[in-house]
Every structure is written in C-alpha cells, then in structure tokens.
C-alpha cells in the first residue's frame, strides 16, 4: 500500500491533483465497476485471510457489508441494481425469467420482444437508466464499456447507451447484439480478432481448465461428496472436467464449452479480452470520464455446479484474487486517476448436503413436484380441469385462469391456504400484501421484513400473484446427474442478500465500516464522485466515499 500511495501521489502531482491522494479523485478519468457473480459476504469473509492479490488490495479500501436488499436474489435483478440505484421494483427486472400471463410464456430478462432474431439481446426490459447513461448525458465525451461472461450481466450494467457491450457465447467467443449497443464493424473487430486468436491457441494446445496441484488449504477440502443422486470424488480436477474430450473439433463440443465456464480459467480469459478492449479503445484516456463495467461469472457457475464449500470454490477464490490483481496492475499502467467499486449481484449458500454436515437444518425442495402437488390440491378442491398455477420459480407463482376475476380470487385464496400449511414454507404473500409492504423511508436494510423485501422486488406487470419464502437453508433443486445444479440462491434470506461492497482507489486509507449499505447506494455515490447529478433513485450517496450533495 505504501508503494501504491507513493505512486498515486506522484501521478496526482503530474496531473495537477496534488494533495488529493488521501481522498477519491474529484473527477477520475476512469471508474471501474466490478461484480463477482454469486459472491456472498460469508464467502468473502471466509477466504479474506487467504487473499494476496487484487481482493486483498480492494479489501484494504473502504469496505462495507453490503446488501442486495430485495428478495429476488438472482443474476439479472441483482445486476440491475448496481448501476441504476433502483431496486428491482423500479428497474422492472424481477427475475432472470418471469412468466407473462398475457402471452402464456416465459420472458428472459434481456430477450428483445418483437424481433425474429432469437439471439437478440438488449436492455429493453430495463425500465430505468444507469449511471453510465447519466454520465454520458452530463459529459458527452464519456464512454461506457461493459463486459461479462453472461449477456444479462453485461447488459444490465451497460445500460441503454453503452459504447460497447460484450459477452461470451459458447462456441462463438465474445459477441454483442445491435439491441445492446453498437454492433458496427469497429465494435465487432476486436472481439472477432480476440476470438480467432484464442481458438487458434486452443487448437494448437488445448487449455488446462484446472490446476494439477492445489494449496494445502484447498487440499483439506478434497473429500468425497454426494449431492442428490450425484456422487463426486471431491478431487481437483473435478471428475466431470476429467472426462472432457480435447481431440479433433473439441471447441465445438458442448461438454468442453460447459466445463470451460465451470472452471477457474473462465474469468482470466475474460480479463484477457478486457485488456484488449482497454488498449484498443484507450479506455481512461478519453475526453471525459470513462466507465468500465465488468462482471466475472466463474464464481456463480462453480457455486451452482459444486457448491461453495468444497475445493472447487477454494481454487476459484485464489484464481479470482489473482485475476483482479492483474486488472489493478493494468489500470495502474494507464497512468490516469481511477477508482474501483466491487460488489456482487447476490450471495449464495453451500449445497444442502454439505450444509447439513456443518450443523445447519438444510434440505432440498423439488420445485416441479412442489408445484404439481399444489395444482393437484387446487384441482381437487375447486374441481379444476387444468393446472391453475404456473411459473418457472416456486417462489413466484402466477395464476393462469384467464379473465375470470372471481375464479382467480378463489384460486389465490385456496393456494395461499395450502401453502401456509406446508412445513417447507416460511412466509406467503399475495400481490396486494406485497404492494402494501413498502418499507418506511430510512428503515435499516438489516431490519426489513420479508414482505418489505418482496416489495422491493415487485413489479405489477411482471411479478407473480403469490410470493413464497421457503424455510431457511432450503435449496431449490434436485440434482440427478452430471451438470445439474447442486446449490443455488434466489431467496430473501440474508445469506443470499448479503454481499461485499468495496470502494478503492490508489491512496485510499483502509476503513472497514460497521454500518451496512445497499447496492442501490453505489450509483448515486459514483455520480457524486463524477460530479454529475443523480436522478430519483432508491439508494443514497455514501459520504465516506464521495462529497455528497
């Protein structure tokens, strides 16, 4: 840190910012917003003593226990809060997928309605602008770049007017869509060049997805484990990775593409591409403040596939720590004042079986069987010849009975009665109860009731008719074979809501804050740092980070 403070002081003097090394630059040339997908506060705290790279450095900035304060703790809703300052109730992004009763179909959060292109992706479902949009409007020379392994993460952080939005598509490499931002030859050229060079290297020498040796700490976690019907040796490299073919045409094989995502090599590859974009577009050297939004995805893929408590996540934590160290070194080399904020789209919990081994009352719920049981009960009680309850998520249930309001009310009341009698269910709220549960202004995020958490996720046109909170430590999903999820997230419980929020810049003094903040506080704080106005938001500016007005 002494080296960094000295380096920033010299850079500040050269840029006419002498004396500002102890505080955030009043107008940095570059703001970097980072999300680590499925990075729970508990996971951060567990591995914090082991970090030696970028996460160690960022943790030595201004560190908060943060919250995705709403109930819909999934990738798309969570990312929609980070740079908008709005809860999902304002962004309209209530889930990764929601059921549209009017069309009788599921809607993917970044799918584009009204186009014949099934690959079309964009922010059209996002009801509000992002910090990047505010920045470009206030400072026309500003530029916005957003990159992720997932389309929904890149698009939600990129906003409506990004200069370039990229995500990884299996078998193709990095790509974009004209609905997400410019898809001109100039924007596509670096992605095509990077993809071609990467695939050529892989063909010459197939990539090694997992290390052959692990640290002593990770080795302690190498134990046989059963998740549902899946039996794993618990060794590194994982059993599934060992079975991947790397012979002729392996790049086109779905098993390779799948295992590449679920490996600690996915994030470093994304950083390789990010460095290409930084160099090509001279990010940080534009006429005004640039925004670079990055969402790293490996944590989420590994957490779902193997859980957060095994050697796989241990290896991943070391990898993302080193990847972020590389990123900071790259940013230092730009010789411009910059700041970083790091957070997550949601938290998570380890697989139910391993959680139970550690003394938690953890168990699994089969979502398909659960909804079927509910529909069977409704059919019997109300003499219905069809299934009245639909939805991809048993936590958000939609009633699909057509325009008959009286029948809809009967189905709702009967469903709520059945749900409240189930031991797996903790709380049940109707749409009216959820709408009425708006949190009082200024209520601490730690004290929000479950109804208030659902209120922050509720959109009248997109949310379910019934919100269901299952018992604590419930994992929704029944793994039956290789590739199935063994762990998940998406609940209103704190292990899914609580995430780190770290603000860092060269010269910052370490400050571990005790008061919690929310991800919706990030955008107004960055606006204050950038010296631009903040529109109406749900969050507040964090005064220990910026000169709030």
Q: Encode pLDDT of 194-222 as tens digits.
A: 999 999 999 888 889 999 999 999 999 99
For residue 291, pLDDT over 50 is answered with yes
Check residue 6 and give its pLDDT.
38
Write out the residue range of the structural domain in which residue 515 sits. Answer: 28-209+263-352+494-530
Band of pLDDT at residue 224, cut at 50, 70 and 90:
very high
For residue 281, pLDDT over 70 is answered with yes
- Let me know whether 34 and 84 are in one domain: yes
Is residue 86 a contact partner of residue 92, using CB atoms and an 8 Å limit? no
Q: How many CA atoms lie within 13 A of 429 on its CB side?
A: 26
- Let me know whether 415 and 452 are in one domain: yes
Instruction: Report the domain count for the chain.
Output: 2
- Let me know whether 387 and 519 are in one domain: no
Q: What is the CATH number of the domain that holds 432?
A: 3.30.1360.150
Give mean pLDDT, residues 302-314.
Answer: 98
Cβ within 8 Å of residue 511, ≥6 positions away: 61, 62, 63, 544
Give mean pLDDT, residues 111-136.
Answer: 95
Check residue 391 and give its pLDDT.
77
Q: How far is CA 489 from CA 130, 317, 327, in A?
A: 25, 19, 28
Cβ within 8 Å of residue 447, ≥6 positions away: none
Check residue 254 and give its pLDDT.
82
- Let me know whether 53 and 173 are in one domain: yes
Nearest to 293 by CA among 467, 132, 111: 132
Check residue 30 and give its pLDDT.
98
- Let me know whether 392 and 436 are in one domain: yes
Omega of the bond leading into 540 within 30 degrees of 0 (cis): no
For residue 147, list its beta bridge partners. Answer: 166, 294
- Let me know whether 312 and 370 are in one domain: no
Q: How far is CA 473 from CA 43, 215, 263, 371, in A?
A: 16, 29, 26, 19
| Helix (H/G/I), strand (E/B), else coil: 149 | coil
Please, is 268 exposed, middle or buried when counting C-beta atoms within 10 Å of its C-beta (0-12, 13-18, 19+)?
A: middle
Check residue 241 and give its pLDDT.
87
Give mean pLDDT, residues 71-76.
Answer: 98
Tell me if 305 is assigned to some domain: yes
The catalytic residue positions are 75
For 336-390, the pLDDT digits (tens) are 999 999 999 999 999 999 999 999 999 999 999 999 999 999 999 999 999 999 9
Tell me if 318 is assigned to some domain: yes
Q: How many CA atoms lie within 13 A of 390 on its CB side?
A: 18
For residue 10, pLDDT over 50 is answered with no
For 42-56, the pLDDT digits (tens) are 999 999 999 999 999
Nearest to 69 by CA among 499, 395, 537: 499
Check residue 21 and give its pLDDT.
36
Q: For the chain, what's the residue count? A: 549
Q: What is the CATH number of the domain that holds 308?
A: 3.40.720.10
Nearest to 265 by CA among 290, 291, 241: 241
Tell me if 286 is assigned to some domain: yes
Is residue 266 a contact partner of residue 305, using CB atoms and an 8 Å limit? no
Tell me if 246 is assigned to some domain: no
pTM of structure = 0.94
- Let me know whether 272 and 376 are in one domain: no
- Let me know whether 194 and 321 are in one domain: yes
Q: What is the spatial distance between Cα 342 and Cα 521, in angstroms, rounded to a whole number?
A: 13
- Let me know whether 278 and 391 are in one domain: no
| Helix (H/G/I), strand (E/B), else coil: 192 | helix
Task: Compute, in degrees rounded to 10, the torsion defined by CA atoms 67, 68, 73, 74.
Answer: -120
Give mean pLDDT, residues 53-82.
Answer: 98
- Let me know whether 380 and 516 are in one domain: no
């Amino acid at each position: 840190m002494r080296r960094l403070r000295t380096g920033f002081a010299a850079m500040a003097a050269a840029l006419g910012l002498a004396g500002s090394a102890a505080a955030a630059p009043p107008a940095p040339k570059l703001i970097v917003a980072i999300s680590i997908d499925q990075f729970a506060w508990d996971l951060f705290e567990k591995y914090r003593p082991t970090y030696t790279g970028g996460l160690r450095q960022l943790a030595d900035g201004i560190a908060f226990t943060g919250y995705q304060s709403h109930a819909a703790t999934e990738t798309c809703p969570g990312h929609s809060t980070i740079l908008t300052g709005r809860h999902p109730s304002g962004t309209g992004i209530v889930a990764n997928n929601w059921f549209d009763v009017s069309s009788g179909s599921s809607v993917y959060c970044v799918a584009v309605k009204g186009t014949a292109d099934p690959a079309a992706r964009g922010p059209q479902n996002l009801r509000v602008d992002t910090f990047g949009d505010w920045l470009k409007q206030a400072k026309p020379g500003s530029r916005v770049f957003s990159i992720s392994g997932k389309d929904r993460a890149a698009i939600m952080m990129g906003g409506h007017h990004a200069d370039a939005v990229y995500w990884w598509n299996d078998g193709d490499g990095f790509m974009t869509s004209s609905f997400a931002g410019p898809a001109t030859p100039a924007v596509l050229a670096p992605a095509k060049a990077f993809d071609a060079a990467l695939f050529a290297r892989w063909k010459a020498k197939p990539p090694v997805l997992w290390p052959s040796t692990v640290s002593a700490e990770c080795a302690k976690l190498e134990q046989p484990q059963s998740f549902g019907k899946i039996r794993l040796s618990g060794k590194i490299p994982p059993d599934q990775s060992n079975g991947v073919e790397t012979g002729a045409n392996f790049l086109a094989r779905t098993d390779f593409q799948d295992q590449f995502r679920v490996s600690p090599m996915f994030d470093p590859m994304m950083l390789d591409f990010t460095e290409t974009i930084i160099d090509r577009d001279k990010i940080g050297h534009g006429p005004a403040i640039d925004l670079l939004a990055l969402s790293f995805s490996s944590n989420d893929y590994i957490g779902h596939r193997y859980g957060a408590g095994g050697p796989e996540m241990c290896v991943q934590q070391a990898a993302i720590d080193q990847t972020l160290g590389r990123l900071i070194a790259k940013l230092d080399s730009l010789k411009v004042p910059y700041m970083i904020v790091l957070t997550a789209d949601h938290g998570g919990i380890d697989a139910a079986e391993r959680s139970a081994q550690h003394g938690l009352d953890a168990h699994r719920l089969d979502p398909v069987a659960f909804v079927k049981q509910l529909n069977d009960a409704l059919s019997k009680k109300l003499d219905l010849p069809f299934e009245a309850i639909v939805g991809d998520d048993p936590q958000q249930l939609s009633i699909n009975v057509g325009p008959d309001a009286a029948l809809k009310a009967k189905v709702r009341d009967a469903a709520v009665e059945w749900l409240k009698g189930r031991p797996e269910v903790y709380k049940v709220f109707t749409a009216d109860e959820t709408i009425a549960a708006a949190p009082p202004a200024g209520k601490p995020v730690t004290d929000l009731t479950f109804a208030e958490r659902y209120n922050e996720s509720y959109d009248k046109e997109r949310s379910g008719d019934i919100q269901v909170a299952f018992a604590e430590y419930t994992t929704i999903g029944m793994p039956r074979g290789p590739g199935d999820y063994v762990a998940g997230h998406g609940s209103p419980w704190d292990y899914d809501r609580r995430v780190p929020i770290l603000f860092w810049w060269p010269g910052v003094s370490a400050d571990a804050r005790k008061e919690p903040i929310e991800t919706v506080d990030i955008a107004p704080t960055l606006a204050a740092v950038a010296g631009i106005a903040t529109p109406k938001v749900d969050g507040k500016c964090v005064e220990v980070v910026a000169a709030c007005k």
